[in-house]
Amino acid sequence: MNRITIDLSDETVNALKMPAEEVGTALRMAAAVKLYELGRLSSGAAAALAGVARITFLEKLADYGVDTFNLSEEQLAKETRLA
C-alpha cells in the first residue's frame, strides 16, 4: 500500500470550515470524485479511494455536481464488467 502525505497550512484547514480531523476524509472524497469524473477511475476504484462503499460513492456524486451515469460507451462497458 502507498501512503501520500499532504502538508496543509492552518489557513487552508480553517478555510475548509470543518474540523481538522475531517479534512483527510474530505480530500480523499474530492479526489475520488474528480478522478471518477475525468474517467481516470471506475466508480468501484473511486469508492475504494474515498474509503466508502460503491453505492455510497455513487450517492455522493450529486453533492459534487457530478452526474452518476454520464458515462461514455467505453466507461459504461467497463462499469458493466465491474458490476
Average pLDDT of 64-74? 77
Q: Is the pTM of this model over 0.85?
A: no
pLDDT at residue 73, rounded to an integer: 72
Q: Place 1 in a pLDDT band, splitting at 50, 70 and 90.
A: confident
Average pLDDT of 33-58? 95
For 3-29, what is each residue's pLDDT tens digit? 999 999 999 999 999 999 999 999 999
Q: Is the pLDDT of residue 45 over 70?
A: yes
Backbone CA torsion sign across 53, 77, 38, 65? negative
Q: Which amino acid is at 65?
A: G
